[in-house]
């Protein structure tokens, strides 16, 4: 209807869109890197159940959660051969996460979270091994319409008691 009243209306909208998107230079083709968390403590609760305290700040909208890595040495826990391996905890329901202390429960059973636990990671930890966390961020490739997780640099490590 407006196109009949104002014959150049459609053309002007098209020109505005081309000018706006054609002159926009504030974009990036590089992925955002999430900040790694800081591991505070790990406690053995018995029956292969562990509680891990973590401090983190991930105020980005692409934040998704955390991935736990375990290995016999500090170097292997921080730099595994495959970053896709490890047990993860997705916290996607909290789109923006401000500085906070998380409590994770690591337990191979499918029990519900204990009160006060931010997330349960279904894994078995071996005493004497080292653990490390990495932050997961969402990486979307618009060229082929795929998405994956991009991991942060590693956290510090703790030895499983």
Global pTM reads 0.75
pLDDT tens, N- to C-terminus, the chain (161 residues): 554 555 544 555 555 565 555 555 555 556 566 788 999 999 999 888 999 999 987 766 777 889 999 999 999 999 999 998 999 988 755 545 567 888 999 999 888 778 888 889 999 999 999 999 998 887 766 666 666 778 889 999 999 99
Q: What are the structural domain ranges in the chain?
A: 38-159
Taking the CA atoms of the chain, what radius of gyration do you get in angstroms? 22
| pLDDT at res. 118 | 86
The rounded distance, in Å, linking the Cα atoms of 69 and 5 is 64
Contact between residue 131 and residue 78 where contact means Cβ atoms under 8 Å apart: no
Please write the tens of the pLDDT for every residue from 67-114: 999 999 999 999 999 998 999 988 755 545 567 888 999 999 888 778
Cβ-Cβ contacts under 8 Å for 146 (sequence gap 6 or more): 140
Topology of domain 38-159, per CATH? Immunoglobulin-like (2.60.40)
């Amino acid at each position: 209807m407006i196109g009949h009243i104002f014959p150049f209306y459609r053309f002007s909208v098209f020109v505005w869109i081309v000018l706006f998107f054609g002159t926009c230079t504030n974009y990036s083709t590089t992925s955002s890197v999430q900040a790694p968390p800081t591991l505070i403590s790990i406690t053995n609760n018995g029956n292969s159940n562990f509680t891990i305290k973590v401090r983190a700040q991930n105020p980005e909208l692409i934040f998704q959660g955390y991935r736990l890595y375990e290995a016999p040495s500090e170097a292997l826990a921080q730099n595994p051969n495959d970053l896709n391996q490890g047990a993860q905890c997705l916290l996607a329901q909290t789109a923006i996460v401000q500085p906070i202390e998380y409590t994770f429960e690591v337990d191979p059973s499918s029990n519900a979270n204990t009160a006060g636990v931010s997330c349960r990671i279904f894994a078995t930890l071996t005493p004497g091994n080292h653990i490390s966390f990495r932050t997961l961020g969402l990486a979307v490739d618009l060229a082929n319409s795929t998405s994956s997780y991009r991991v942060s640099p590693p956290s510090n490590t703790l030895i499983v008691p």
